[in-house]
């Protein structure tokens, strides 16, 4: 199997899986319980918050666990009202949360063909009514790394009370996520993107704005901003996975893979358009569009050879992808975007084989249309 869909989800690290099972077996008490067995489980949560807090230059009391980055994004966005700024290339859990939020107006900052946000447009759209901003840090479809530090400086220089949230789901563990350096107030993340368990998300919330957060789930408020019995096995495994991801030292290797596949595709397959930028882009993601190809057909042809990728141009209700539309991609490429996303388990030999299957599949599809 050649698994090139790591931006969709990653395989759990063995260490994380073992930690998960150990907590399930040996520390299964309810962490809210008053007895010492419960406190053991609670301490595992505290230790994990401490680790994540230290990693992002925050305090443990500023880290909250949720069921997913989707929940984190919803909580962040639905806690505020007034006028918001965001973009059209956000993950759907941000884009659609805004549609169902309390904001009276949502302004979309324009972007270039690589997904970089336009700073002049940001300056134009900032006014005294703006209360909240949400931007994606690493774009999940194309890999573009937004210059959050620069954008947040523009925003905070205009009005330091504007709350800035970023969706760092494809960033945490892979690129530097220091909340003070970035100048942000909230940050969402998700354990299954860095080889941790699924259905375990998190939200960093700066102390000074915590009083403004409105929980979506009411109940025991175990995580203050969310309710429901906490999940110590997943939380502890999340911390173990994040530490391993951070210490993996794989960035250079992944970048090598990305550059290698990019070049193979450029050199060997005609009429392609590489959507992911070369600079300021996550090496974990490579989005490529092939002219006159239906990505879904190509995806299934790759799958026949046990090569798993994602379609970067998944349409909804017959429309073109929102992201590709916002990037202004030429129509002939619109249907044919494929996202390759890497992990350290991938080798160059895997990519040689992927290229071979990709090339023959594309030639076959192009022959029949
Ligand atoms: N934001 C981004 C950028 C993502 O890539 C994803 C997952 N595809 C999410 C949010 C949602 O994460 P989760 O699966 O934890 O809800």
**Judging by DSSP bridges, how do beta strands 130-136 and 81-87 pair with one another?**
parallel
Looking at residue 313, what is its pLDDT? 57
Which residue is associated with the tokens 């600079």?
279
Q: What are phi and psi of 45, to 5 degrees?
A: -65, -45
- Using a 10 angstrom Cβ sphere, with 0-12 exposed, 13-18 middle and 19 or more buried, the burial of residue 301 is middle
Over 90: is that where the pLDDT of 321 sits? no
The 337-341 sheet, strands edge to edge: 272-274, 285-290, 337-341, 310-311
- What is the overall mean pLDDT for the chain? 96
- Using a 10 angstrom Cβ sphere, with 0-12 exposed, 13-18 middle and 19 or more buried, the burial of residue 295 is buried
Looking at residue 300, what is its pLDDT? 97
Instruction: Tell me the β-bridge partners of 201.
Output: 66, 190
The count of residues in the chain is 369
Q: Tens digit of pLDDT for each residue in 281-302? A: 999 999 999 999 999 999 999 9
Domain topology for 14-247: 3.40.640
DSSP 100: T
Answer whether 140 contacts ligand 1 (Cβ < 6 A). Answer: yes
Residue nearest to atom 6 of ligand 1 (CA): 169
**Domains 2-10+249-368 and 14-247 are alike in CATH topology:** no
Cα–ligand 1 centroid distance for 233 (angstroms): 20
DSSP 219: S
Ligand 1 nearest-atom number relative to CA 200: 15
Answer whether 310 contacts ligand 1 (Cβ < 6 A). Answer: no
Q: Tens digit of pLDDT for each residue in 328-344? A: 999 999 999 999 999 99
Which residue is associated with the tokens 């309710």?
227
Distance in angstroms (rounded) separating the CA atoms of residues 252 and 332: 33
Cα–ligand 1 centroid distance for 6 (angstroms): 12
Categorize the per-residue pLDDT at 319 as very low, low, confident or very high, splitting at 50, 70 and 90. Answer: low
DSSP-derived 3-state class of residue 156? helix
CB 271 within 8 A of CB 293: no
Mutate to test the pocket of ligand 1, among 72, 86, 91 (most ligand atoms within 8 A of CB): 91
Cα–ligand 1 centroid distance for 272 (angstroms): 27
Mutate to test the pocket of ligand 1, among 93, 96, 143, 285 (most ligand atoms within 8 A of CB): 93
- Residue 112 neighbours by CB distance under 10 Å: 12
> In the chain, what are the domain boundaries?
2-10+249-368, 14-247
Over 90: is that where the pLDDT of 368 sits? no
Domain topology for 2-10+249-368: 3.90.1150
315 is catalytic: yes
Ligand 1 nearest-atom number relative to CA 191: 15
Categorize the per-residue pLDDT at 121 as very low, low, confident or very high, splitting at 50, 70 and 90. Answer: very high
Residue nearest to atom 8 of ligand 1 (CA): 8
Looking at residue 16, what is its pLDDT? 98
Over 70: is that where the pLDDT of 317 sits? no
Catalytic residue among 24, 177, 238, 315: 315
Whether this model's pTM surpasses 0.85 = yes
DSSP-derived 3-state class of residue 11? coil
Over 60: is that where the pLDDT of 318 sits? no
Distance in angstroms (rounded) separating the CA atoms of residues 57 and 298: 43
Mutate to test the pocket of ligand 1, among 5, 190, 192 (most ligand atoms within 8 A of CB): 190
User: Angle, to 10 degrees, between the axis of helix 348-368 and the axis of helix 295-304?
Assistant: 130
């Amino acid at each position: 199997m050649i698994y090139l869909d790591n931006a969709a989800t990653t395989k759990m690290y063995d260490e994380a899986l073992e930690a998960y099972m150990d907590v399930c077996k040996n520390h299964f008490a309810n962490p809210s319980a008053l007895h010492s067995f419960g406190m053991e489980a609670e301490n595992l949560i505290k230790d994990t918050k401490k680790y994540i807090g230290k990693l992002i230059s925050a305090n443990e009391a500023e880290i909250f666990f949720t069921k997913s980055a989707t929940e984190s994004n919803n909580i962040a966005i639905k806690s505020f009202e007034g006028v918001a700024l965001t973009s059209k290339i956000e993950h759907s859990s941000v884009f659609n949360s805004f549609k169902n939020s309390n904001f009276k107006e949502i302004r979309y900052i324009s972007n270039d063909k690589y997904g970089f946000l336009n700073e002049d447009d940001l300056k134009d759209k900032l006014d005294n009514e703006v209360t909240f901003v949400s931007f994606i840090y690493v774009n999940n479809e194309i890999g573009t790394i937004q210059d959050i530090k620069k954008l947040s400086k523009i925003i905070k220089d205009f009005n330091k009370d504007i709350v800035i949230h970023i969706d760092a789901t494809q960033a945490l563990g892979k690129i530097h996520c220091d909340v003070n350096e970035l100048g942000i107030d909230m940050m969402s993340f998700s354990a299954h993107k860095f080889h941790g368990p699924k259905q375990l998300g998190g939200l960093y919330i700066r102390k000074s704005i915590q009083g403004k957060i409105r929980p979506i789930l009411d109940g025991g408020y175990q995580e203050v901003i969310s309710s429901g019995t906490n999940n110590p096995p997943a939380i502890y495994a999340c911390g173990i996975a994040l530490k391993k991801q951070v210490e993996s030292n794989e960035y250079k290797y992944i970048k090598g893979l990305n550059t290698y596949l990019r070049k193979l595709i450029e050199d060997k397959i005609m009429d392609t358009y590489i959507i992911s930028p070369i600079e300021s882009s996550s090496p974990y993601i490579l989005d490529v569009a092939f002219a006159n190809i239906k990505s879904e057909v190509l995806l299934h042809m790759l799958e026949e050879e046990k090569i798993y990728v994602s379609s970067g141009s998944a349409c909804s209700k017959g429309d073109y992808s929102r992201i590709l539309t916002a990037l202004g991609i030429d129509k002939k490429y619109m249907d044919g975007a494929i996202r390759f996303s890497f992990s350290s388990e991938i080798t160059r030999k895997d990519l040689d084989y992927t290229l071979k299957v990709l090339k023959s599949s594309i030639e076959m599809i192009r022959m029949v249309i």
